[in-house]
Amino acid sequence: MASEARTGALLRTVAASKPGGRLLELGTGTGVATAWLLDGMDVGAHLTSVDTDPDVQGVAREILADDSRLSLVTEDALSFLKRQPGASFDFVFADALAGKYEGLHEALRVVGPGGFYIVDDLLPQPNWPEGHASKVPRLVAELTASPGFSVVSLDWSSGLLVAVRSA
Ligand SMILES: C[S@@+](CC[C@H](N)C(=O)[O-])C[C@H]1O[C@@H](n2cnc3c(N)ncnc32)[C@H](O)[C@@H]1O
């Protein structure tokens, strides 16, 4: 599902805190959050957005690909993450199951000091597959216990969690 407007507004605000930043979105979808992020970024920042589905991502490509601050990558998020050096991003928005419910460690590994890791859809969603609900508290517990991260859960919009690498 496309990110809600309130999620987008938060992403835009956080993106604005990273002038010249290296931003990563896992799960481009049709580019709703991508557009919010680009709106918050300065001219020196760069956003890489990854999705496995070329058709869905194609919608974002058609609308946003002219923005030179954006790289759209059609690849599995975990394969992408495994190729990245540690601490190579200042911001990660994890909006696919990969990099969140699978491969969380790989996603956190690429977040540099002071960098953000943000997830949404932690409140019940109509499109959750069977058995998904029990995974949410486990993810929140794992993130809350992640060494070197300060974490806050927000019962707001679709349910967000914001983590910042403090060391
Ligand atoms: C919730 S949607 C993304 C919504 C988008 N961020 C937005 O704001 O509109 C999740 C996306 O993750 C993509 N996806 C699913 N599995 C993936 C994977 N293993 N790697 C990368 N993307 C994946 C899907 O194709 C889908 O477009």
pLDDT digits (tens, 9 = 90+) for 2-29: 999 999 999 999 999 999 999 999 999 9
CA of 107 to the centre of ligand 1 (A): 15
Domains of the chain: 5-165 (3.40.50.150)
Q: Residue 11 in contact with residue 84, Cβ under 8 Å? A: no
Instruction: Determine the pLDDT at residue 69.
Output: 98
CA of 77 to the centre of ligand 1 (A): 9
What is the pTM for the complete model shown? 0.98
| 85-111 residue pLDDT tens | 999 999 999 999 999 999 999 999 999
Q: Residue 26 in contact with residue 107, Cβ under 8 Å? A: yes
The fraction of the chain above a pLDDT of 90, given in percent, is: 95
